[in-house]
Every structure is written in structure tokens, then in C-alpha cells.
């Protein structure tokens, strides 16, 4: 399952870091962050609980870039 | 500028003003307290401009993000202050580095925000409301709530919110936002109308034929908004590079701070730690990869934006990249290079006025639902008079014998002529030949054919001009028809009488021949083209007339069906990619140069931060150029 989220982040490299952080989160099969359109497209693993996974994604992203936001 | 940006600007101005004032203060004449006062004084602008970076750096340490650029900036500037305390007494450098770093960040966020807005304005085709007829009154409603078959009113200046048919009114439409075509289109009662156009002159009453979600405008917005989920190779390269670059430069900095002094010490010379630590700190300033990382996606974004303004929708940066590498273009014929509608293209050997012949032919074929009768009627142009038509006998696969104005009209193919022993003249034109005899006397033949798009020939010429190695046509149409069309258009290779499945096979053959040598693009429109479109390296669909399946399977959609746009798209993508490579080489080149000069002690921290911010600003400006590519 794929879902798209709006995000807010200031620098392009931070967006890349968020992408890596999201990819490494458990329950996430693949993730893409598009800095220009400020969107994060997350593909979840089968049977993953979307809302808890996204909470983890947000925490992990905050770790690599404090100044970011994902609008869940 | 938004609030965040304004705040940073104010901080930049305060810090810059303080630096200027401090430059005039005679610190040396303050006696023994001078250095202390100077340090404290300089800490004010340093903290004003850098507090958030220090805070982020601190948080980064907590999260073990050592290669975070805030952390690196903090280390570099604090180190510079340390150098100042230890000897040089110069704190301007630390503040300046922080200052220019912030200027760069501000410029970057401003430029990105600006181009984001620019491009979304280009694609601003989403209608906010629809004037819908509810209980006899016109009411403004959400377009999503309008059911199929409702009546909607579009005033001059408003966007057409939903696809439909004009029921009342005459107007001129601006389709530029959809197709990039600046020529306005006229509509009258009975015309189909697609959403996203802007009504310019008259009030139109429209009967909707689709729901909002199925309308052209929603489809296009969906395409554009979901674009670039797949990243191009250059983007992936640059994000991988950034991931490696920062740590490598940091380790180099560490080595630079430790190794030379140790070597010097072993050799019995003065280790001069201060010099090497300073050079290492210069490295840290250069280690920020932001110029690189920002300019590449920005270029692609601007390129995609510029393309959509021209009516070329590219579904993502990876496709823009592929488009620039296309060497072989494979075409479908009907609907792609030709109009896909059959028209009377010639009347030969006629014994009576063309108009009269067409009138008789149109009446004789009036009852047939065959596309040929439609094109006859269209060519005739007048209205049918059912009263003059007598008995009609249809001979399947051959034609019709009908009584029109008490004359026996025999109309059909050569088999029909043979059946009635009418001497006919063969035609060497390509197309469907309709022979006509009046009362047993041969009266001539009408040639009906699919007409080439007016720009098709020019499109092929432009493609060859752009350096496309080969153009190939695949079609389900008869071989001789295909060959004549291909020859006329200047297409290099042609394969006719292909079924949808054999089309895919043929394309796979072409793909195999060109493996690793360049990309193969397929341009098509019909439903049966969808498998070929998705199989090709790059699928290009004709948008307005093409089927939804084809548009979904394609990577690039040409909104106004003009084959000329293929060459334009290729030119545009190449320019975009050229800018991408310029930025990559330029930014990496300057960084490496600065690292070298920094290691040798020729470039100081000032040079480093100027190079860093300067490169970023130039790269961003260069990237934005892609918006106007392909003109």
C-alpha cells in the first residue's frame, strides 16, 4: 500500500536524510521524499499498521533533522 | 518571503551591522582588558546569527548525527573562535562564516519557494467551484458534487470545471494551461468541451458528461501531483554522493589536523598545530553538500514545469532524463501521425460536378453506419433530403445500390462494379476507393483516406535534425498504405499489418537491437497501444484524443496531440540534463578546488564560505533556467 504525505523541511539534503530515515523504519517497504513538491510517498509492508509506522517514521526523521514535519 | 525567512533576514542584518561597527572599534587601545572585551563583543553577533545552528548541532549530537551540517558549521566556527583566543585575536571570521552560511540558506529557501510557487501557478487549472443548476437556480457548488448530466454555467473568465457538451451559448476558449497552445479555440452548441480551459468571451451552459474525478482537469492534476516519485539517475547519484562526501571530507579534515603536525614533529621541526587545525576547520566549511543537493532536483522540477507549460506532461524526473537519451522513435500511425478520421481526399475521373457526385453518394450511403458514409456526408457538407431517396439494396462487403432522384446509384468497391459489369478506372491513390455509377454509367471514384496531421512531416524532420538515429512506424494498417505514409513523412522504417501482440514483439526486437546504445521511445494513442507504451524505454501518449489507458501507461503525455512536441520535448529534456551536468561538474569542481587550496593554506575560511554560498547561488540560478528551456 502506498500513501502520500505532505511534509515540511528547509533544505534539500535534509530531505534526503529524511528519505533514508523513513526507508530504514520498520514496516516501511520503500519511501521517496520529493523536496520540490514537499511530499513523502511511503510504501508500507503488508500487514503494517499505517498510523504507528508513520509515528515511527516521524520520530526517526526528527532524529536526523530536528526542523522537519510530516503532516499525518 | 514568509515569516521564518524574514526573521533570518533581520538576524543577518543585525549581525552584519554589528560586524561593520566592530571593525571601527580600536580594540588594541583598550589595554589589558581589550582581548576579553573583544571576545565578548563578538560573541553577540555570533550568537545572534548562529544560535539556532548551535542548538541544532547540540540536538544532533544527542541523536548521534555527527555529519550533520549544523554540527560541522558549529565545529568550524567554534574552532575559529578558539584559534582567535589562542593567538590571532580574530573573531570576524567565525561570525562571517556563520553569516554567509545563513545568507546562503536564506537565498536557497527563497529561491526554492519562489520556483515552487511559479510552477504551481503554471499548473493552476483546478477549478474552485461550479455554477450548477439546482432546483431551477444557479448555485455555486463544489465541482465534486456535480452529478453526470447536470447543467453547469460557465461565465467569461471562469474555468470550465467539468467535461461536457455545450448546450447553449457561443464562446472562445483559452486552452493554453492545458495544451500550451496559445491559439484560442471556438466552441458552439453541441461541441464537446474539456475541463481546465478558460472561457473567454460568452456565457456557456454545459451538460456534464463526466464526474469531476473523471474529468480531464482532475486526471492531469493527478498526473502532475504524483509526478517524480521515481528519481532520476542524476538525482540518485547526487544524494549518494552527498552521503559519502560529507564524511569523507570530515575524515580528511581530521587527518589534516593530525598527520602533518605529527610528521613535522617526527622530522624534528615545529609541528605548528594552529595552522593545521585552521586548515582542517576550512575543510569543514566546505564539507556542506547543499549546493549540489539542491540544484539537481530544482533543475528537474523547473524542467518539468517548463515542459508542462508547453503542453508536454512529464510524469517524473527519471522520464525527463530518459527522454534526453532517446535515439530511436517508434510511432503508431493512426491518431498519432494521422488525424485518425477518414476524409475524402480526392475525386477522380468524375463525369459530373464533384459537389453533385458527393451529393448523390452521400444520399445513397445515408443508411449505412460505416465510417465511409460519415466521411461522404462530411465532404458533401449539405443536409440530407430523405424524400429523394428511394429503395436501397445493400450488398455486404461490396457496396450499395440505391434509388436517388429516380436514378440508380451503384456505389461501392471494384467487386460491386464487376458484379454489374460496369467499366471502372483503377486508382493508384492510397486509401479506400469508392466507385460510383449513375444508371449503369461510370461516374468516377472518390478516394477516402486517413489524413496526415499537418505537422507530422515537420515533426519527423525536426526529430532527424535533433539527431534521432532512426524513426520507425508500426501500424495495424495495410502494408501499402503504411509504406506510402511513411515515405511521405520521411520515416526510415515501417512495419504494417501488425496486431497489438505483434506490435509488442516488433518493439522488443527494436529494443534488443539497441540495448545499451540509447533509449527507444514509442509514441501512440490507442487502447491497443498501452502494452507497447509501457514496454518501451519511454512511452509518449497523445493526450487529448488518446485513450485513458494509453495516458496511464505512458511516461510523457502530449496534451494537444501535436507530433511536433516530441522533438520539442527532446530538446527541452536535453537542455535540462545539460544544466544538471553543468551544475554537478561546476559544484563538485569548485569544492575540490577549494579543498586543495584549503589544504595548501592558500584558501582561508573566507574563501571557503564564499565558494560554498557562491556556488550554491549560481547553481540555483542556473537550475531555474530550465523553466524556459526548449523555446
What tens digit of pLDDT does each residue of B496-553 get?
888 777 888 899 999 988 887 889 999 987 667 788 888 888 999 887 665 677 777 7
CA dist A7 and B317 (Å) reads: 20
HEC per residue, B149-185: CCEEEECCCCECCCCEEEEECCEEEECHHHHCCCCCE
Among A16, A63, A66, beta carbon nearest to B239: A16
Judging contacts by C-beta atoms under 8 Å, the chain B residues touching residue A12 are 108, 112, 290, 293-294, 297-298
Among B60, B63, B289, beta carbon nearest to A13: B289
- Calculate how close chain A gets to B229, using CA atoms only, in Å: 6
Among B116, B243, B294, beta carbon nearest to A12: B294
* A36–B298 C-beta distance less than 8 A: yes
* CB-based contact B15:B49 (threshold 8 Å): yes
Q: Which residues of A touch B (CB under 8 A)?
A: 4, 10-13, 16, 19-20, 32, 34-38, 41, 63-64, 66-67
Spatial CB neighbours of B67, under 8 Å, sequence gap ≥ 6: B246, B247, B250
What's the pLDDT band for B328 if we cut at 50, 70, 90? very high
Share of chain B above pLDDT 70, in %: 94
- pLDDT at residue B124, rounded to an integer: 67
pLDDT exceeds cutoff 70 at B123: no
Crossing angle of helices B3-24/B34-62, nearest 10°? Answer: 150
More confidently predicted of B458 and A1: B458
Active site residue B332: yes
HEC per residue, chain A: CEEEEEEECCCHHHHHHHHHHHHCCCCEEEEEEECCCCEEEEEECCCCCHHHHHHHHHHHHHHHCCCCEEEC
- Calculate how close chain A gets to B307, using CA atoms only, in Å: 16
How many alpha carbons lie under 13 Å from residue B268 in its C-beta half-sphere? 0
Q: How many residue pairs from chains A and B have C-beta atoms closer than 8 A?
A: 63
B4, closest residue in chain A (CA to CA):
A10
Judging contacts by C-beta atoms under 8 Å, the chain A residues touching residue B243 are 16, 20
Closest C-alpha to B207, from B104, B132, B135: B132
- Calculate how close chain A gets to B39, using CA atoms only, in Å: 30
* A20–B112 C-beta distance less than 8 A: no
Q: Which residue has the cell 589595554?
A: B31
pLDDT exceeds cutoff 60 at A54: yes
Average pLDDT over residues B174-201: 79
CB atoms inside a 10 Å sphere around CB B497: 13
* B297–A34 C-beta distance less than 8 A: yes
3-state SS assignment for residue B321: helix
* B301–A12 C-beta distance less than 8 A: no
Burial of B117 from C-beta contacts in 10 A (0-12 / 13-18 / 19+)? exposed
* B290–A66 C-beta distance less than 8 A: no
Judging contacts by C-beta atoms under 8 Å, the chain A residues touching residue B226 are 4
- pLDDT at residue B460, rounded to an integer: 92
Spatial CB neighbours of B344, under 8 Å, sequence gap ≥ 6: B358, B375, B376, B378, B379, B446, B447, B448
Among B65, B231, B298, beta carbon nearest to A64: B65
CB atoms inside a 10 Å sphere around CB B553: 21
**And the C-alpha cell for A41?**
510517498
DSSP state of B497: S
Q: Which residue of B1, B294, B591 to mutate against A (max A Cβ within 10 Å)?
A: B294
* B69–A41 C-beta distance less than 8 A: no
Closest C-alpha to B293, from B608, B600, B566, B588: B588
Share of chain B above pLDDT 90, in %: 9
Cα B567 to Cα B59, B340, B462, B598: the distances in Å are 51, 21, 6, 46
Average pLDDT over residues A63-71: 85
- Calculate how close chain A gets to B290, using CA atoms only, in Å: 6
CB proximity B297 to A under 8 Å:
yes
- pLDDT at residue B576, rounded to an integer: 92
DSSP state of B146: P
Sign of CA dihedral B515, B516, B518, B520: positive
Closest C-alpha to B242, from A19, A3, A26, A7: A19
Average pLDDT over residues B316-332: 90
Among B69, B242, B301, beta carbon nearest to A36: B301
Cα B595 to Cα B272, B282, B598, B601: the distances in Å are 20, 8, 5, 10
Sign of CA dihedral B381, B386, B387, B390: positive
Q: Which residue of A37, A58, A67 to mutate against B (max B Cβ within 10 Å)?
A: A37
What tens digit of pLDDT does each residue of A4-15 get?
888 988 878 888
Domains parsed from chain A with CATH numbers? 2-71 (3.30.70.100)
- Of the given ranges (B103-107, B121-125, B452-456), which has the lowest mean pLDDT? B121-125
CA dist B591 and B530 (Å) reads: 46
Q: Which residue of B74, B106, B112 to mutate against A (max A Cβ within 10 Å)?
A: B112
A35, closest residue in chain B (CA to CA):
B297
Sign of CA dihedral B315, B316, B318, B322: positive
Closest C-alpha to B474, from B493, B452, B487: B493
- pLDDT at residue B250, rounded to an integer: 86
Q: Which residue has the cell 461565465?
A: B155
Judging contacts by C-beta atoms under 8 Å, the chain B residues touching residue A36 are 112, 115-116, 228, 297-298, 300-301
More confidently predicted of B630 and B590: B590
- Which one is catalytic: B52, B142, B163, B332? B332
CA dist B15 and B11 (Å) reads: 6
Mean pLDDT of chain B: 83
- Of the given ranges (B238-247, B249-258, B349-358, B408-417), which has the lowest mean pLDDT? B349-358
Judging contacts by C-beta atoms under 8 Å, the chain A residues touching residue B56 are 66-67
Q: Which residues pair with B471 in a beta bridge?
A: B329
A60, closest residue in chain B (CA to CA):
B63
DSSP state of B351: S
CB proximity B116 to A under 8 Å:
yes
pLDDT exceeds cutoff 80 at B67: no
Closest C-alpha to B520, from B569, B470, B478: B470
Among A4, A12, A41, beta carbon nearest to B293: A12
3-state SS assignment for residue B334: coil
What's the pLDDT band for B471 if we cut at 50, 70, 90? very high
B290, closest residue in chain A (CA to CA):
A13
What's the pLDDT band for B158 if we cut at 50, 70, 90? confident
- Calculate how close chain B gets to A10, using CA atoms only, in Å: 7
Amino acid at each position: 500500500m502506498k500513501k502520500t504525505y505532505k511534509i515540511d523541511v528547509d533544505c534539500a539534503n535534509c530531505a534526503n536524510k529524511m528519505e533514508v530515515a523513513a526507508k530504514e523504519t520498520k514496516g516501511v517497504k520503500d519511501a521517496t521524499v520529493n523536496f520540490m513538491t514537499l511530499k513523502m510517498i511511503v510504501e508500507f509492508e503488508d500487514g503494517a499498521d499505517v498510523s504507528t509506522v508513520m509515528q515511527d517514521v516521524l520520530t526517526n526523521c526528527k532524529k536526523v533533522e530536528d526542523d522537519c514535519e510530516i503532516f499525518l | 518571503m514568509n515569516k521564518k525567512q524574514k526573521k533570518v533576514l533581520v538576524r543577518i542584518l543585525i549581525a552584519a551591522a554589528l560586524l561593520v561597527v566592530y571593525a571601527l572599534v580600536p580594540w588594541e587601545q583598550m589595554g589589558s582588558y581589550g582581548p576579553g572585551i573583544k571576545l565578548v563583543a563578538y560573541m553577540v553577533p555570533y550568537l545572534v546569527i548562529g544560535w539556532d545552528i548551535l542548538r541544532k548541532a547540540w540536538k544532533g549530537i544527542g541523536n548521534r548525527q555527527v555529519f550533520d551540517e549544523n554540527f560541522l558549521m558549529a565545529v568550524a566556527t567554534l574552532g575559529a573562535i578558539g584559534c582567535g583566543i589562542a593567538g590571532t585575536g580574530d573573531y570576524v571570521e567565525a561570525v562571517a562564516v556563520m553569516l554567509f552560511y545563513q545568507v546562503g540558506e536564506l537565498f536557497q529557501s527563497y529561491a526554492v519557494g519562489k520556483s515552487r510557487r511559479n510552477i504551481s501557478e503554471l499548473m493552476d487549472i483546478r477549478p474552485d467551484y461550479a455554477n450548477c443548476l439546482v432546483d431551477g437556480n444557479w448555485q455555486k457548488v463544489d465541482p465534486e458534487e456535480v452529478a453526470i448530466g447536470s447543467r453547469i454555467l460557465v461565465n467569461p473568465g471562469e474555468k470550465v470545471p467539468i467535461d461536457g457538451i455545450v448546450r447553449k451559448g457561443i464562446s472562445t476558449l483559452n486552452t493554453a494551461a492545458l495544451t500550451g497552445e496559445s491559439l484560442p479555440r471556438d466552441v458552439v452548441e453541441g461541441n464537446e468541451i474539456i475541463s481546465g480551459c478558460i472561457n473567454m468571451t460568452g456565457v456557456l451552459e454545459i451538460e456534464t458528461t463526466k464526474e469531476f474525478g473523471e474529468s480531464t482537469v482532475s486526471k492531469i492534476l493527478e498526473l502532475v501531483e504524483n509526478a517524480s516519485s521515481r528519481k532520476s539517475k542524476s538525482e540518485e547519484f547526487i544524494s549518494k554522493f552527498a552521503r559519502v562526501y560529507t564524511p569523507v571530507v570530515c575524515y580528511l579534515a581530521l587527518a589534516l589536523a593530525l598527520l602533518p603536525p605529527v610528521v613535522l614533529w617526527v622530522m624534528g621541526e615545529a609541528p605548528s598545530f594552529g595552522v593545521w587545525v585552521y586548515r582542517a576547520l576550512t575543510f569543514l566549511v566546505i564539507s556542506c553538500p547543499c549546493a549540489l543537493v539542491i540544484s539537481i532536483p530544482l533543475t528537474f522540477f523547473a524542467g518539468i514545469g517548463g515542459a508542462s507549460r508547453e503542453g508536454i506532461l512529464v510524469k517524473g524526473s527519471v522520464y525527463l532524463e530518459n527522454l534526453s537519451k532517446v535515439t530511436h522513435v517508434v510511432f503508431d500511425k493512426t491518431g498519432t501521425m494521422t488525424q485518425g478520421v477518414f476524409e475524402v481526399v480526392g475525386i477522380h475521373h468524375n463525369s459530373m460536378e464533384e459537389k453533385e457526385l458527393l451529393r448523390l453518394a452521400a444520399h445513397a450511403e445515408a443508411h449505412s453506419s460505416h465510417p465511409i458514409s460519415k466521411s461522404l456526408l462530411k465532404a458533401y457538407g449539405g443536409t440530407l433530403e430523405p424524400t429523394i431517396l428511394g429503395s436501397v439494396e445493400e450488398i455486404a462487403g461490396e457496396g450499395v445500390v440505391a434509388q436517388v432522384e429516380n436514378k440508380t446509384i451503384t456505389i461501392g468497391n471494384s467487386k460491386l462494379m464487376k458484379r454489374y459489369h460496369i467499366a471502372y478506372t483503377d486508382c493508384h491513390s492510397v486509401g479506400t476507393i469508392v466507385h460510383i455509377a449513375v444508371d449503369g454509367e461510370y461516374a468516377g471514384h472518390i478516394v477516402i483516406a486517413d489524413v496526415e496531421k499537418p505537422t507530422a512531416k515537420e515533426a519527423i524532420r525536426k526529430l532527424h535534425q535533433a539527431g534521432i538515429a532512426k524513426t520507425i512506424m508500426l501500424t495495424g494498417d495495410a502494408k501499402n498504405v503504411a509504406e506510402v505514409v511513411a515515405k511521405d513523412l520521411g520515416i526510415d522504417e515501417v512495419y504494417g499489418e501488425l496486431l497489438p501482440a505483434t506490435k509488442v514483439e516488433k518493439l522488443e526486437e527494436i529494443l534488443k537491437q539497441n540495448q545499451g546504445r540509447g533509449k527507444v521511445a514509442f509514441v501512440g494513442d490507442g487502447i491497443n497501444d498501452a502494452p507497447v507504451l509501457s514496454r518501451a524505454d519511454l512511452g509518449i501518449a497523445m493526450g487529448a484524443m488518446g485513450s485513458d489507458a494509453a495516458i496511464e501507461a505512458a511516461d510523457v503525455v502530449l496534451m494537444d496531440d501535436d507530433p511536433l512536441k516530441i522533438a520539442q520535448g527532446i530538446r527541452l529534456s536535453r537542455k535540462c540534463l545539460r544544466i544538471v551536468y553543468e551544475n554537478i561538474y561546476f559544484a563538485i569542481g569548485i569544492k575540490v578546488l577549494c579543498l586543495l587550496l584549503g589544504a595548501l593554506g592558500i584558501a582561508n575560511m573566507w574563501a571557503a564560505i564564499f565558494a560554498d554560498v557562491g556556488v550554491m547561488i549560481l547553481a540555483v540560478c542556473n537550475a531555474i533556467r530550465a523553466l524556459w528551456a526548449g523555446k
